[in-house]
Structure 1
Amino acid sequence: MTTPGAVLREPGGAIGAALIGLLVLSALVSLVWTPFDPTLVDPAASWAPPLTGGHLLGAEASGRDLFSQLLAGARITTVAALAATVVAGVVGVGLAVLAAVGRRSGDVVSHLVDVLVALPTLLLAMVLAAVYGGSVATAVVAIGIGTGVNVARVGRAEMRSALGTDYVLAARTSGASTARIVRRHVLPNVAPVLLVQLSLTLALAVLAEAALSYLGFGTPPPTPSWGRMLQDLQQFVTVHPWAVVWPGLAITAAVLGFSLVGDALRDVTDPRLRRAVPAPEVLA
């Protein structure tokens, strides 16, 4: 059974967990404290350099504190990533089960999954934003559906493989219903693979939320988010390049953290990737 300790012992697992912990800590801290109001406009502090006037990372053109915006943006990123992953899990596992065990609907769902996999997540988000307006909820639904079909594609293959095992055939022979077989035998055996996919979905959700906010289809102003910070600062990148570094580093660290933990989970749960233990030498 996979344990957190096993993941932390993997190369990169501890680093990824530390980065995720920093993200969650920043989000929690922003609920009760930020050095300044993230939306406060202070023309007197316009482009204040780092470590001046109480601005740890400096301030942008309208005088808003960059460190406060990063803390508040961490909250938006964490909530959006977790919510999108929940949507992806519900959509992905549901479609995978229907495709794997459905008799009449299986082929239809499988074709639907294959079509949706080819639909870019950002394009889906833009369509939904055009219809319902740009918001965090719209971004979450679009990211969840876009990444959920990838979970469904992987889960479908794993579930079909599990349905062909001897213990599933024995359960069917004993008269167990399809729902019971899926609940008791299939899902527990494919859970590690689905867990790895969902952990990698968190990384994709962070990146997609930042991209949607950057394009104007995500978090609406004046709510701070890392993608919107990049959008606001891009026109000043040649004059104040140091300001763009902070949201870029935050996005990179969050995506890297979830990716490293996902890779560590894959290495721990996939027996084909486990390191072979060298056989003891036999003394002559």
Structure 2
Amino acid sequence: MTQQPPAGPTEPTDHPDGPAPPDLPERVAKIYGEFDLSTVSAFAGGFINFGYWAGVPDHADRPLSEADRVRSEQDLYRLVLGTFDRPQGRSALEVGCGRGLGCALALREFGLGQVIGLDAHPDQITRAREANAALLGAFAGTPARLGFLLGAAEDIPLPDDAVDCLYSVEAAQHFRDPAGFAREAARVLRATGRLALTTFFARTHEAARALPGLLPPYADGLDVPHVVDDVAATLAAAGLREVRVRPIGDGVWEPYDRYMAQRPELRDEWPRRYLTAYRDGLLDYYVITAMAG
């Protein structure tokens, strides 16, 4: 049975009451709850992603600033949102929206008619509503253009054929059930809809087995070493078509690591072996796109 959203497919509710919080792994619950990853200087600006640095001017020839870091995080959203053809006036769902800053960017820069942010952590939904209070207030009394929903990627609280665009930025590494997410994405996308997601994945199954020994977030249960080809195949098996995978690690890993190395509070305490894993062929950063079936 299709679960109906609290206020209809085109008007997501901002009421604090809603479905019970998803059952989150302990490490995920802590990192995005009491720890609040968005406050760590590694994620300046609060977007919580490694960033896409190719558009940062002269980034290879000078020290990297906090403003550069924020732009890299915004540019990763721009890279993903730029895969949608003529998004103006269309509806979109962001899976794993965090503080909702990418939702606001999507409305502001890409002209989407409506953006719904979905996150599995209730604290993140609260933060998203607080961070976007002015924008939410500006839409008061009009058809809702922005809203935030509590829910899991594998159990999206929207009806069938609800949105034109579905995107996810550096969240899929947390998904425990990629096949469930793929089925839900295929279900909520309209017939002409498109999907775009970006994050880091293991290159091979052998690499997936090696990553927990190199990177603590895999060892402690925060991230899951999904293999990129498996993710693509799972999307296709759910009925999505024209699944395409594009590696973008050359615009992510080296400048991100260099920024971290320049920050005394980060260079020795925050995991910096992602560049090593990339150079050793264990993982990469990818953009995956697909069309509704």
Quickly name the TM-score band, shorter chain normalised.
under 0.3
Higher helix share: 1
What TM-score, normalized by structure 1, do the two folds share?
A: 0.21
Higher strand share: 2
